[in-house]
Amino acid sequence: MSTSLYDATVGTYQQILPAVEGVLEKGRAHCEENGIDLDDVVGMQLIDDMLPFRFQVISVAHHSLGALKGVEAGVFSPPPSLELDYAGLQGLVADAREGVAEYTAEKVNGFEGNAMEFRMGSLVMPFKAEDFLLTFSLPNFYFHATTTYDMLRMKGTQIGKRDFMGRPRLNR
Q: Which residue has the higher pLDDT, 3 or 7?
A: 7
Alpha-carbon distance 79 to 100, whole Å? 17
Q: What is the mean pLDDT of residues 54-63?
A: 97
pLDDT in tens, 103-145: 999 999 999 999 999 999 999 999 999 999 999 999 999 999 9
Q: What is the pLDDT of residue 50?
A: 92
Q: Which of 35, 65, 51 is nearest to 156 (CA)?
A: 35
Helix axis angle for 5-33 and 86-101, nearest 10°, is 160
